[in-house]
């Protein structure tokens, strides 16, 4: 008979059930990191903006210029605060304003009179595409509709020029 107590055979290692949890913990941390990074890819509009409800929408392209107008008429161009004169000089500096794609995000409490100066400037410099964004109601069962790229109409079907 073999005596295991004197070292002739190696002692059998007892496996702890915690050793089986390490790969699972690694996968959970990798998934956590992935979703933390993936959730930060798209730039979000100013949190104080409350977009109006819409029936039609189209996703924003990555090269779109973002113009946000808050309820008190304050404007932000690609996240930076601007006024009418700054917006006008920025539009004048553009090489080809006819190729610009501008996404206009206006707070639902914004008055049309507060939008008029910005819209007048945009009309004057004739951007290639101007889209007014609105929030899609969560309970809407309508499919997201899109307009042709060369359309001169907004999502509501009213020409902007």
Mean pLDDT of 90-104: 80
In a domain, 42, yes or no: no
In a domain, 29, yes or no: no
In a domain, 1, yes or no: no
Read off the pTM. 0.49
In a domain, 142, yes or no: yes
| pLDDT reading at 160 higher than 60 | no
Domain of residue 86: give its range: 47-161
Taking the C-alpha atoms of residue 107 and residue 126, their distance in angstroms, rounded to an integer, is 23
In a domain, 32, yes or no: no
In a domain, 16, yes or no: no
Look at 14 and 73; give whichever has higher pLDDT: 73
Cα angle, residue 119 at apex, residues 69 and 144 outer, rounded to 5°: 70
Q: What pLDDT, in 10s, does the model give residues 17-28? A: 677 888 999 999
Instruction: Report pLDDT for 156.
Output: 41
Instruction: Report pLDDT for 27.
Output: 95
In a domain, 64, yes or no: yes
In a domain, 150, yes or no: yes
Q: Looking at the 3D structure of the chain, how many domains does it have?
A: 1
């Amino acid at each position: 008979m073999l005596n295991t107590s004197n070292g002739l055979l190696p002692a059998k290692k007892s496996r702890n059930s915690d050793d089986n949890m390490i790969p699972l913990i690694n996968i959970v941390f990798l998934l956590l990191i992935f979703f933390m990074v993936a959730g930060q890819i798209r730039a979000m509009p100013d949190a104080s903006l409350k977009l109006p409800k819409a029936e039609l929408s189209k996703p924003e392209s990555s090269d779109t210029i973002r113009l946000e107008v808050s309820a008190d008429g304050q404007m932000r161009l690609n996240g930076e605060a601007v006024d009418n004169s700054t917006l006008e000089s920025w539009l004048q500096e553009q090489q080809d304003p006819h190729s610009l794609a501008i996404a206009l995000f206006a707070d639902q409490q914004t008055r049309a009179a507060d939008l008029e100066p910005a819209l007048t400037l945009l009309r004057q410099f004739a951007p290639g595409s101007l889209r007014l964004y609105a929030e899609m109601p969560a309970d809407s069962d309508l499919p997201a509709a899109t307009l042709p790229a060369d359309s001169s109409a907004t999502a509501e079907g009213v020409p902007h020029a």
